Amino acid sequence: MAKAKGRVDHFQKRCMVSIAFQRKIDTSKSENITDQSIIMHEIPSAIQQVLGGQWECLAFTAYDYYVRFGRIILGICKDSTNDDAPVLMAILYTGSQAEQQPEISAMLAAYDPERELLVQFEDSSGSIRTQRLRTKQDTLTPKAVYADRIMSRYEDDPNNVNLDRLPGWLRGLLSPVSMHAH
């Protein structure tokens, strides 16, 4: 775990950002990504695997972090202890960090968190790369993936979902579910 923490710290220093939260990603499932073309030959294989087949995980995590922290970039960092399990981070650009990187600040202001997400990772050349991903046609949006997963969790075990942390629109959707469950 110390090596993984060191890798995340390195990424945080390289990007000059605050990391609000992080979680490991399960790369055992593969899903479709977005309409946008991503130049894969410049991306390390562990990051390619996440971008190429983990849309619902990325979408849920990005929207969950958005609900918790506001507009974020989803950082994808290779875990030095396990190349198959990258770490996802909520990256916040605030204050002087935002001032030093106006292009990133503009991307954060422009993206639509309900339908898009911003990802940031270190490419094969060692450069930090930020990419805006849009939901592919006929694919669940980040907001829809978030709602679906939270509603499924709530149906399985209502005590396992903290309603106070959820956005009002989702609490309103869960009320009828809780009435039918009893």
Q: Which residue has the higher pLDDT, 151 or 36?
A: 151
Query: How many other C-beta atoms can be found within 10 angstroms of the C-beta atom of residue 166?
Result: 18
pTM of this prediction?
Answer: 0.73
pLDDT tens for 48-62 read 777 777 888 899 999
- 3-state per-residue secondary structure call for 129-170: EEEEEECCCCCCCHHHHHHHHHHHHHHHCHHHCCHHHCCHHH
Residue type, 130: T
C-alpha to C-alpha distance for 80 and 90, rounded to whole angstroms: 19
Q: Which residue has the higher pLDDT, 167 or 27?
A: 167
Share of the chain above pLDDT 90, in %: 27
Q: Report the run of H or E that residue 83 belongs to, with start and end.
A: strand 82-92
Q: Using the 8-state DSSP alphabet, how is residue 119 labeled? A: E
Token pair for 80: 């030095």
Sign of CA dihedral 124, 85, 22, 59: positive
User: Structural domain boundaries of the chain?
Assistant: 2-135, 143-181
Which residues does residue 87 pair with via DSSP β-bridges, in sequence order?
24, 77
